[in-house]
């Protein structure tokens, strides 16, 4: 079994065991340069934050909700700060600090599983 398949399987097992109440979405993650975001907060690259696709962001009802993101056998909890109009339905845009917890920034885009912590 390849290393990447094993990492995905282990991530999914951790997700099921540790957080069975989360509805899981699969998509890709990129990162952005934070500043003043759609939810009205000003953030830095070190903050653990995320922007959601327009349909997942909605009309702002998800602002400041916690999201747990899994990739490469690691996880990070981030707070929703805005909308990512260019993202696909289940894609997310992380701060550099959050992305770096999951992969090297040089990767630019990674496959992730994610869900709202309180769902």
Question: In whole angstroms, what separates CA 109 from the centre of its chain?
Answer: 12
For 101, how many CA atoms within 13 A lie in the half-sphere containing its CB? 19
pLDDT one-digit tens code per residue, 83-119: 999 999 999 999 999 999 999 999 999 999 999 998 6
Domain boundaries, the chain: 3-116
| Average of per-residue pLDDT values in the chain | 88
pLDDT band at residue 23, thresholds of 50, 70 and 90? Answer: confident
CATH class of the 3-116 domain in this structure: mainly beta
CA–CA distance, 59 with 16 (Å, rounded to integer)? 30
Per-residue pLDDT reduced to its tens digit, 11-21: 555 554 554 56
The pLDDT of residue 19 is 47
pTM: 0.80
């Amino acid at each position: 079994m390849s290393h990447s398949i094993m990492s995905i399987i282990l991530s999914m097992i951790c997700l099921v065991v540790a957080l069975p109440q989360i509805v899981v979405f699969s998509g890709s993650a990129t990162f952005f340069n934070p500043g003043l975001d759609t939810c009205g907060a000003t953030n830095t690259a070190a903050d653990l934050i995320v922007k959601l696709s327009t349909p997942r962001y909605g009309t702002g009802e998800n602002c400041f909700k916690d999201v747990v993101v899994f990739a490469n056998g690691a996880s990070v909890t981030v707070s929703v700060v805005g909308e990512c109009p260019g993202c696909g339905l289940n894609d997310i845009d992380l701060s550099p600090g959050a992305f770096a917890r999951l992969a090297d920034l040089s990767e630019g885009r990674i496959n992730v599983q994610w869900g709202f912590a309180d769902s």
